[in-house]
């Protein structure tokens, strides 16, 4: 699997994944153009949307889907990082206890959450691009 991030201008970058494009940027207050979410917001959104995906499957595909509310905090000292994330799955009114249990089981399969719980090895390098 692969994606590409291309610098555009200032703090704006284009992410290209399987033919889809997303913009990330910084807020105006931080010197960016606010043309998209920050990379950190996108990171947290990945978790919340993955939980929503599995919650939807736990509810069943017909009818009203769940809403997912997510809050997070940043560390107050280096290394700068997301220090905590709270994810709340809000199920439609009238959801049966059996469906609630099914949602709880289903969200345990969230790939992003499972990746955070058992982090992958990560390698980051920098090198001068070779000319084609």
CB contact at 8 A, 111 and 52: no
CB contact at 8 A, 82 and 44: yes
Tens digit of pLDDT for each residue in 22-46?
999 999 999 999 999 999 999 999 9
Q: What is the DSSP letter of 5?
A: E
Nearby residues of 70 by Cβ (< 8 Å), 6 or more positions away? 44, 45, 47, 48, 85, 86, 87, 88
Tens digit of pLDDT for each residue in 58-106?
998 777 889 999 999 999 999 999 999 999 999 999 999 999 999 999 9
The residue extents of the domains of the chain are 1-36, 39-119
Q: Which CATH superfamily is domain 39-119 in?
A: K homology (KH) domain (3.30.300.20)
């Amino acid at each position: 699997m692969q994606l590409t991030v291309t610098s555009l201008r200032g703090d704006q970058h284009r992410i290209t994944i399987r033919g889809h494009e997303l913009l990330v940027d910084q807020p105006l207050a931080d010197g960016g153009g606010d043309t998209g979410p920050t990379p950190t917001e996108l990171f947290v959104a990945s978790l919340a949307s993955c939980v929503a995906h599995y919650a939807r499957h736990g509810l069943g595909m017909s009818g009203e889907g769940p809403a997912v509310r997510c809050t997070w905090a940043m560390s107050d000292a280096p290394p700068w990082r997301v220090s905590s994330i709270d994810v709340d799955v809000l199920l439609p009114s009238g959801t049966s206890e059996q469906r609630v249990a099914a949602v709880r089981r289903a969200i345990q399969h969230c790939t992003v959450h499972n990746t955070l719980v058992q982090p992958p090895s990560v390698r980051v390098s920098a090198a001068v691009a070779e000319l084609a």
